Chain A
Amino acid sequence: MTFNYDEYVRTETIPHMWCPGCGIGIVMKSIIRAFTALKWDKNDIAFVSGIGCTSRMPGYMDMNTLHTTHGRALAFATGIKLAHPEKHVVVVGGDGDATAIGGNHLIHAARRNIDITLIINDNAIYGMTGGQYSPTTPPHMIASTAPYGMVEPNFDIAKLVMGAGATYVARETISKGIMLEKYIKTGLAHKGFSVIVAESTCPIQFGRRNRLADPVELMHWLKNRGVPKTKAAGMAPEELQDRFVTGELFRDDSRPEFTEVYQQVIDAAMKKENK
């Protein structure tokens, strides 16, 4: 039986605006499959994004959807979560949205360990604005603002959010949809700030500039850059240069979650006030 995605989709908004061969569809499908597996009621989900191609995803999803300003999705999501700690708050964004303009909000959401799940579609480029370089454009690759090749070092997003305090961190390429779905599902169910980095493709803005215009070829290139966690453990740092580690990279269930801690503040303050 084929999987029915329609339950969580505003079918009247399809066809979508993404280019042929774009990786975002795989990420969206993985998210929907994870929602389905968890049997989440769509009335109880707030699905929030910033600006960019990836951030157009909420428009297509049948739930409480919010398409905010560039980089600020986590800030809006923090307000929603604090207003309704018992509801599910999920954020999606591109690598630029989440780590460049949104970098400050990213580290602070992680530091608070607020119960929000962030899924980053890391296509290593600014897709929507025409292929400018992002904090994750690999070294030497061509971008519309890096005509001589990328000269800035990259963020390792997983390490960044681990260092900042996220309590569930996973990364997988979109070539492994089943694994991606599994990590998203675990992240959604995790109480605390969870980040799933979906290493993804943009054949039009990234591929074409880098002799990887063919979506399948680009997918192979991406897949080969990923190194599973177990394999990476036995590799020298030089061997891991310009590659990324995949798998469930970090999990800590012991750190308190922010809205629960704040609830204790409320309970104590109300008791004192009513005495």
Chain B
Amino acid sequence: MSKRMELYSGNELVAEAAIAAGCRFFGGYPITPSSEIAERMSKFLPQVGGRFIQMEDEIASMGAIIGASLAGEKSMTATSGPGFSLKQENLGFAMIAEVPCVIVNVMRGGPSTGLPTAPSQSDVMQARWGTHGDHPVIALAPSYMREIFDETVRAFNLAEKYRMPVILLLDEVIAHLHEGVALPESDEIEIVNRKKPTVSREEYEPYADTKDHVPPMANFFEGYRYHVTGLSHNPKGLPSTDFEVVHAIQVRRQKKITEHLDDILKWEERSMEDAEIAIIAYGSIGRSATDAVEHLRAEGVKIGLFRPLTLWPFPEKRVAEIARQVKRIFVPEMNLGQLVLEVERMAKGDAEVIGINQVGGVMIRPREIVSRVKEVA
């Protein structure tokens, strides 16, 4: 049974969910519009025996959560654009060293200091390619309050399961919006913990390939005494420049994602069965698009919604199918065209792809989507 409805903002829900998911360490640096997450974590973590620290900057915050995770704690940091930029180098470290952790980026208008208090969705590509080098990425983008809770828990679970950082993308609209939400009881929440080695220290290979491509992870101080480095390394974790070793481990890390798409991908569809037009939208704009679809359907337009909750990896196969079904796809985003590029890539010309873009710090409203759809039709 769910608890009664309570009033929460999106940011507050991230903190609630993180603690419910088992997060016991938070390292952060204040930045609008994400600061409420740090504020709540500073209050609640010590109540459950966890630890909070306000580091000297975002680079340090990212480093601290990796350190805490290696030492066995589920860890999180939260930031916005400028801070997300600063975290990129250490985010890459977490990817190459395969350290589970959760990074929340509450997107605001950019570039640079941009629009500190206004929403955007302009870090979608940064979430994919922000750190240098080839690397797998998981990024989630919820739209609704209960979804923010569930996706935060899922972010921790995916991080633990696939031994990698997971990015949770919110935007200022849903981060600061307050709505009533019924949260699950703790026994209703599925919690995943990292897979531990069962072999001896001598046999343990922290970066060896396994059936699921996710090697078990020993925590520091558990007697395994292995090496963790941001240098390319061999299965033992020691630095390597051997072509075959380095290539194989890079490919394995990629397979953590590509061979588990069914588990990682998540989306919602509405009225897609007979749709001739589709809207693909996410985050707060996913809500505007939902309203727009309802409105247009009431007017008899055969339109449907595809709302990805997993942005990265991108749901390529399903989007390609949709492109074959419909004649036109609209992609409203609070940026100058980011996810639309992926949609175009997957549509391969099968459907016309039209972006609806706005970057002034004002949310794209349902009626703006409706009128754009009608204009083209």
Interface residues of A (CB under 8 A from B): 10, 13, 42-44, 46, 48, 51, 58-59, 62-69, 72, 74-84, 87, 104-105, 108, 262, 265-266, 268-270, 272-273
User: Which residues from B are CB-within-8-Å of A80?
Assistant: 67-68, 70-71, 220
Interface residues of B (CB under 8 A from A): 24-25, 27, 43, 46-51, 53, 55-57, 59-73, 75, 89-90, 93, 220-231, 238-239
User: Which residues from B are CB-within-8-Å of A75?
Assistant: 55, 59-64, 67
Known: A69-B89, A270-B47. A77 touches B67 (CB 8 A): yes
Report yes or no: B90 in contact with A266, Cβ–Cβ below 8 A. no
Report yes or no: A79 in contact with B25, Cβ–Cβ below 8 A. yes
Partner of A65, one of B25, B43, B228: B228
Known: A64-B225, A79-B75. A269 touches B46 (CB 8 A): yes
Report yes or no: B221 in contact with A59, Cβ–Cβ below 8 A. no
User: Which residues from B are CB-within-8-Å of A59?
Assistant: 227, 229, 238-239
Q: How far is the CA of A69 from the CA of B94 in the complex (A)?
A: 11
Query: Could you list some 17 contacts between A and B, CB below 8 A?
Result: A10-B238, A43-B221, A43-B222, A44-B221, A63-B225, A67-B231, A68-B63, A72-B90, A76-B70, A79-B63, A80-B67, A80-B70, A83-B68, A83-B73, A87-B71, A87-B220, A273-B47
Known: A82-B64, A270-B49. A43 touches B231 (CB 8 A): no
Report yes or no: B89 in contact with A108, Cβ–Cβ below 8 A. no
Known: A58-B227, A67-B231, A76-B63. A84 touches B221 (CB 8 A): yes
Q: How far is the CA of A64 from the CA of B206 in the complex (A)?
A: 12
Not counting A64-B221, A68-B63, A83-B71, a sample of 16 additional A-B residue pairs whose C-beta atoms are within 8 angstroms of each other reads: A46-B220, A62-B225, A68-B66, A78-B55, A78-B60, A78-B64, A79-B71, A79-B75, A82-B64, A82-B68, A83-B24, A84-B220, A104-B57, A108-B60, A269-B43, A270-B49
Q: Smallest CB–CB gap between A56 and chain B, Å? A: 8
User: Which residues from B are CB-within-8-Å of A63?
Assistant: 225
Known: A59-B239, A270-B49. A79 touches B68 (CB 8 A): yes
User: Which residues from A are CB-within-8-Å of B238?
Assistant: 10, 13, 59
User: Which residues from B are CB-within-8-Å of A66?
Assistant: 67, 70, 220, 227-229
Q: How far is the CA of A62 from the CA of B225 in the complex (A)?
A: 7
User: Which residues from B are CB-within-8-Å of A69?
Assistant: 63, 89-90, 93, 230
Q: How far is the CA of A262 from the CA of B25 in the complex (A)?
A: 13
Report yes or no: B64 in contact with A87, Cβ–Cβ below 8 A. no
Q: Smallest CB–CB gap between A8 and chain B, Å? A: 10
Q: How far is the CA of A81 from the CA of B56 in the complex (A)?
A: 16
Q: How far is the CA of A10 from the CA of B236 in the complex (A)?
A: 12
Q: Smallest CB–CB gap between B240 and chain A, Å? A: 11
Report yes or no: B221 in contact with A87, Cβ–Cβ below 8 A. yes
User: Which residues from B are CB-within-8-Å of A74?
Assistant: 60
Q: How far is the CA of A68 from the CA of B89 in the complex (A)?
A: 10
User: Which residues from A are CB-within-8-Å of B228?
Assistant: 65-67
Q: Smallest CB–CB gap between A60 and chain B, Å? A: 9
Partner of B229, one of A64, A67, A77, A81: A67
User: Which residues from A are CB-within-8-Å of B72?
Assistant: 83-84
User: Which residues from B are CB-within-8-Å of A84?
Assistant: 71-72, 220-221
Q: Smallest CB–CB gap between B235 and chain A, Å? A: 14
Report yes or no: B90 in contact with A104, Cβ–Cβ below 8 A. no
Report yes or no: A82 in contact with B230, Cβ–Cβ below 8 A. no
User: Which residues from B are CB-within-8-Å of A46?
Assistant: 71, 220-221
Partner of A72, one of B24, B59, B227: B59
Q: Smallest CB–CB gap between B360 and chain A, Å? A: 35
User: Which residues from B are CB-within-8-Å of A262?
Assistant: 46, 51
B231 closest partner in A (C-beta): A67
A87 closest partner in B (C-beta): B221
Q: How far is the CA of A208 from the CA of B93 in the complex (A)?
A: 34
User: Which residues from B are CB-within-8-Å of A58?
Assistant: 227
User: Which residues from A are CB-within-8-Å of B64?
Assistant: 75-76, 78-79, 82
User: Which residues from B are CB-within-8-Å of A77?
Assistant: 67
B62 closest partner in A (C-beta): A75
Q: Smallest CB–CB gap between B161 and chain A, Å? A: 20
Q: How far is the CA of A154 from the CA of B9 in the complex (A)?
A: 49
Q: How far is the CA of A64 from the CA of B201 in the complex (A)?
A: 12
Q: How far is the CA of A238 from the CA of B202 in the complex (A)?
A: 57
Report yes or no: B71 in contact with A266, Cβ–Cβ below 8 A. no
A46 closest partner in B (C-beta): B220
User: Which residues from A are CB-within-8-Å of B222?
Assistant: 43
Q: Which of B24, B53, B71, B223 has the most CB of A within 10 A?
A: B71
User: Which residues from A are CB-within-8-Å of B67?
Assistant: 48, 66, 75-81, 83
A258 closest partner in B (C-beta): B53
Report yes or no: A67 in contact with B51, Cβ–Cβ below 8 A. no
Q: Smallest CB–CB gap between A63 and chain B, Å? A: 6
User: Which residues from A are CB-within-8-Å of B75?
Assistant: 79
A262 closest partner in B (C-beta): B51
Q: Smallest CB–CB gap between B195 and chain A, Å? A: 19
Q: How far is the CA of A84 from the CA of B75 in the complex (A)?
A: 13
Partner of B49, one of A51, A64, A68, A266: A266
User: Which residues from A are CB-within-8-Å of B71?
Assistant: 46, 79-80, 83-84, 87
Report yes or no: A67 in contact with B25, Cβ–Cβ below 8 A. no
User: Which residues from A are CB-within-8-Å of B27?
Assistant: 78-79
Known: A43-B225, A65-B228, A66-B70. A82 touches B60 (CB 8 A): no
Report yes or no: B46 in contact with A82, Cβ–Cβ below 8 A. no
User: Which residues from A are CB-within-8-Å of B47?
Assistant: 269-270, 272-273
Q: How far is the CA of A102 from the CA of B151 in the complex (A)?
A: 35
